[in-house]
Amino acid sequence: MKLTKKAHACIRLEKDGRTLVLDPGAFSEEDAAAGADAILITHEHMDHFSEERLRGAMEANPGAEIWTLRSVADQISAAFPGRVHTVGHGDTFSAAGFDVQVHGELHAVIHPDLPRVTNVGFLVDGSLFHPGDALTVPDQAVRTLMIPVMAPWNKASEVVDYIREVKPQRAIDIHDALLTDLARPIYDTVIGNLGGAEHVRLTSGDSTDV
């Protein structure tokens, strides 16, 4: 697969001429989902889910479909009848030629006083895992782990421990729109030196094979 990083938590995967997009939210480019054959959404927060981004992609490609959890599906199923699929932990499905497994149920704790929303992670082709806003550990090996490096609900030591627990070959940054250029070298050093996996930071538009 070819992976292209988009802004914040969004990534694009391409294989055999088809495109899968994960989490094109409001912090991502307006065209982040453009050209998608399938779209996966981990949870309802606006930096991962933007109906505006979805609408552009769905209108441009009448064959495009969306897979997501119920909290998002309930908001968009009427807008895209027959094209939104509700999934949850333990489900498996095929989307645009990609094999996908669903792992996890809840968003990470932001603060004990705030209710937790639902959140799922997606393991694509038994190789790449996008956890959304959680530190979910799949029950099988992961070659490429997308790591949410900076969020109101985590700290660098938790990111390091997450990589150590999953044990991927490579860890690639996502959820980085709030991380300033001043802080990036610090995070790169901590994660790269302590995580135990090859650490990769891509700027928006950069691609790599996974």
Query: What's the pLDDT at 32?
Result: 96
pLDDT score of 103: 98
Burial class (CB in 10 A: 0-12, 13-18, 19+), 104: buried
Strand segments (E) across the chain: 2-5, 11-15, 18-22, 38-41, 65-68, 84-86, 92-95, 98-103, 121-124, 128-130, 144-148, 170-174, 198-200, 207-209
Q: pLDDT at position 39, please? A: 98
Ordered by start, the domain boundaries in the chain are 2-200
CATH 3.60.15.10 fits 2-200, yes or no: yes
pLDDT, residue 104, reads 98
pLDDT of residue 116: 96
User: What pLDDT is recorded for position 26?
Assistant: 97
Whole-prediction pTM value? 0.97
CB of 1 within 8 A of CB of 208?
no
Predicted confidence at residue 154, as pLDDT, reads: 96
Mean pLDDT in runs of 10 for the chain (210 residues)? Answer: 98 98 97 97 98 96 97 97 98 98 98 97 98 97 98 97 98 96 96 97 97
Residue 99 confidence (pLDDT): 98
